[in-house]
Structure 1
């Protein structure tokens, strides 16, 4: 992790890269500056975090988790993390600068928004959330305060401090940490009996949509216990000015039963979501429908990997040194990270063959552009069925990096699968193992 050469004060220069400007705001553990990237001239936001305050508050793991998650999710509607730097006393996060302020401030200032505008914001929100879920990331604190607007009016999701990864789930496959913001948290989260992170996020998206269209929260009461009871019952009323299609969609999102709550695949087919808007033009890509992605087959192209993604995949990218703690062992749990000159189509074909033959007839699905996921049949062990995810990234012309890791099930079973089936089947296409160093030299 690069050390910073300045203290993050106005006029100082960090690592010879960022000229620090005025303070944009203050948080519990530091401040946020506008800064200029001296290499590109681009304006960025630099978040300065005081280590001592973070450690004293017991929030070190939360900061590390936020960084780990943000380097995993690069999407037009998610604030981008450019770089991480650290000194003995501070951590510096160089982030995409979003100048339009919070969506919350816009609602407070103007009240409810027209349905066409709400639809544009909501489509962008769902696109970002679906992207996160496809990569095993659950935000868990979606609310208008954590949605920013850029200068063009496009929505950007921010603040992944309470997020969770799929491998944080317990043996029952559910998350159990009670977190979120009252009024936006799903009823199953409040019950504290375990919850599906994706379904909990969709509930929060439903509350945000209601706030956009109604200008107020659906569940309100001065007594917090009474408010929670309303959430559990789904006790709210849609205002009379909502369109018929909006009235049909909101109850599907604010369904207190997560088992029957709408999924993203169902959501994108709802008439309200699909309706053509007449508001300002914004390019919004719809969420990936897994069934359609599977039909697309080899037309999917691998995601392009930038230098930060490449470094983050290496074994050396351990966030523990940010707080001078012990390194977390076994991050890869016996998985594979390798470079190859094999075309993406050939890599996918090899992986599918492993799943069909060596993996005991595992079920194969696409997991986004350039990704494959395969899952074992039957009930599986105490931790569920074994699932393996492989992501393929383009790092240079004719050079790919393949990241294979456990996505579910027992770690010992996963290691056995890798050593007995996966590694032997792929060994002849591996150009460089543990590629971040070797690929960096090659390209």
Structure 2
């Protein structure tokens, strides 16, 4: 993307939500010139001069480069609104938070949420595109998953079929393993935080309670998440290990998916606490035996006896599921990646992203001038949105399939081992 490929930009700020006084007479002179403005130049000009655009920015109908539409969700400290990028036209979800309502603890949690999402790049983890800050509000621009959440689907349509459960759970498991491999504990795994994309791919969302650990033996002491999904050790007011807490919540989630009900139910939190600590639940007989074994291996009150993620991946119930895993370098989330790759050494996907950004008017200078801002740059946001769209269109994000054929040699050997019949003169074990 050579520096001279794009016309000279106006001398005012390209990304101002509150200030437009820098736009002087020079802009008017440029408007009289025959030079054709790029889409980016036209948008930044409108943000300084167009009365409707300025009004929309003032009243919140626009946030930076995004046109905001209706509300699609809400939480304790935030609202989630549907929006679309004014240049790329892609839909996004914007999490809106009022700064005045954020106490110190909430601010720290929000900072961790942004930091942790910045360090995750997986097909089954909801993406953070951009962070926009104004004097009164903070906006997290997120991937829009238009298929709704798993909790709504289960409560409206009932339990999932066995194949559906395998496909959904395998994706959740893949996402959580990736998080743990990158030292991040989610701590709020529940059906409400599992979203469907329009393509049917599953996305783990809401990293508000997530935390980063230094090692797998690091003890945590904050009660997090929803009580019906909370592990026994959380109810004991003691320090706990992070990974087993996520694993327990996944067991509750799997039970909910295959039965349509929760394993531990009570009218009050104290009764629920007693039920969870005792670890007593009833699995319907019609749940398949391999699935029952997996659930029982996860929902063990003693965290040291709980299945590890690798055991879950290799379990008999998930053996027929073929996951599409794509190894993506984390630096690919930074638009500087396009400049460092260099012409002739980029893949077709990267060439397409570069061409799309050039067409919008994004130059090398734009990227270099914003390279230290990470998600707080509008050009990083634009780049990530275009990159994600091109990846989706190329088929890199799709649900796993059930083949019945195991292609992973390690899992294949496990399958072969389980099919062996061990015999002796006294007994036959199958």
Give your verdict on TM over 0.5: yes
Whole-angstrom CA distance in 2 between matches of 1:59 and 1:205? 25
**Alpha carbons of 1:240 and 1:45: their partners in 2 closer, same or farther (altered >3 Å)?**
same
SS of the equivalent of 2:323 reads coil
SS of the equivalent of 1:48 reads strand
Which residue pairs with 1:285 in the alignment?
A: 324
Which residue pairs with 1:116 in the alignment?
A: 163
Question: 1:102 Cα deviation (Å)?
Answer: 1.2
Q: Which has the higher helix share?
A: 2
Q: Does 1:132 align with 2:179?
A: yes
Question: 1:258 Cα deviation (Å)?
Answer: 1.1
Question: 1:398 Cα deviation (Å)?
Answer: 7.5
Q: 2:68 aligns with which of 20, 24, 31?
A: 20
Confirm or deny: 8 A CA contact 1:141 1:179 kept in the other structure. Answer: yes
Q: Does 1:193 align with 2:227?
A: no
Whole-angstrom CA distance in 1 between matches of 2:90 and 2:211? 31
SS of the equivalent of 1:177 reads coil
Question: 1:152 Cα deviation (Å)?
Answer: 2.2
For this pair of structures, how many residues does the alignment match?
Answer: 300
Confirm or deny: 8 A CA contact 1:127 1:285 kept in the other structure. Answer: no
Q: Does 1:89 align with 2:89?
A: no
Question: 1:8 Cα deviation (Å)?
Answer: 6.3
Whole-angstrom CA distance in 2 between matches of 1:141 and 1:64? 17
Q: Does 1:4 align with 2:17?
A: yes
RMSD: 3.1
Which residue pairs with 1:35 in the alignment?
A: 83
Q: Deviations over 1:133-157 (max 9, x none)?
A: 1111100010001111112222111
Confirm or deny: 8 A CA contact 1:8 1:48 kept in the other structure. Answer: no
Confirm or deny: 8 A CA contact 1:3 1:87 kept in the other structure. Answer: no
Q: Does 1:202 align with 2:247?
A: yes
Which 5+ residue runs of structure 2 have no aligned equivalent?
A: 1-14, 19-53, 344-369, 378-430
Confirm or deny: 8 A CA contact 1:253 1:262 kept in the other structure. Answer: yes
Which residue pairs with 1:71 in the alignment?
A: 118
TM-score (norm 2): 0.64
Which residue pairs with 1:257 in the alignment?
A: 302
Whole-angstrom CA distance in 2 between matches of 1:179 and 1:163? 9
Confirm or deny: 8 A CA contact 1:103 1:148 kept in the other structure. Answer: yes
Which residue pairs with 1:424 in the alignment?
A: none
Confirm or deny: 8 A CA contact 2:121 2:328 kept in the other structure. Answer: no
Question: 1:262 Cα deviation (Å)?
Answer: 0.6
Question: 1:302 Cα deviation (Å)?
Answer: 4.6
Q: Deviations over 1:226-266 (max 9, x none)?
A: 32222122201111110111111111010111112111111
Whole-angstrom CA distance in 1 between matches of 2:318 and 2:278? 25
Whole-angstrom CA distance in 2 between matches of 1:98 and 1:10? 26
1:268-307 counterparts in 2 under 5 A? 268-276=313-321, 284-285=323-324, 302-307=329-334
Question: 1:10 Cα deviation (Å)?
Answer: 7.6
Whole-angstrom CA distance in 2 between matches of 1:95 and 1:10? 21
Q: Deviations over 1:67-92 (max 9, x none)?
A: 11111112111111100010111111
**Alpha carbons of 1:230 and 1:8: their partners in 2 closer, same or farther (altered >3 Å)?**
farther
Larger Rg: 2
Confirm or deny: 8 A CA contact 1:8 1:20 kept in the other structure. Answer: no
User: Quick one: higher RCO (CA 8 Å, sep 6+), 1 or 2?
Assistant: 2
SS of the equivalent of 1:216 reads coil
Question: 1:25 Cα deviation (Å)?
Answer: 2.8
SS of the equivalent of 2:84 reads strand
Whole-angstrom CA distance in 2 between matches of 1:192 and 1:121? 32
Whole-angstrom CA distance in 2 between matches of 1:29 and 1:22? 18
Confirm or deny: 8 A CA contact 2:122 2:328 kept in the other structure. Answer: no
Whole-angstrom CA distance in 1 between matches of 2:219 and 2:339? 35
Whole-angstrom CA distance in 2 between matches of 1:95 and 1:256? 36
Whole-angstrom CA distance in 2 between matches of 1:234 and 1:9? 53
SS of the equivalent of 2:92 reads strand
Confirm or deny: 8 A CA contact 1:98 1:150 kept in the other structure. Answer: yes
**Alpha carbons of 1:303 and 1:133: their partners in 2 closer, same or farther (altered >3 Å)?**
same
**Alpha carbons of 1:58 and 1:266: their partners in 2 closer, same or farther (altered >3 Å)?**
closer
SS of the equivalent of 1:60 reads helix
TM-score (norm 1): 0.62
**Alpha carbons of 1:118 and 1:10: their partners in 2 closer, same or farther (altered >3 Å)?**
farther
Whole-angstrom CA distance in 1 between matches of 2:181 and 2:17? 34
Which 5+ residue runs of structure 1 have no aligned equivalent?
A: 277-282, 289-299, 311-392, 400-434
Confirm or deny: 8 A CA contact 2:119 2:330 kept in the other structure. Answer: no
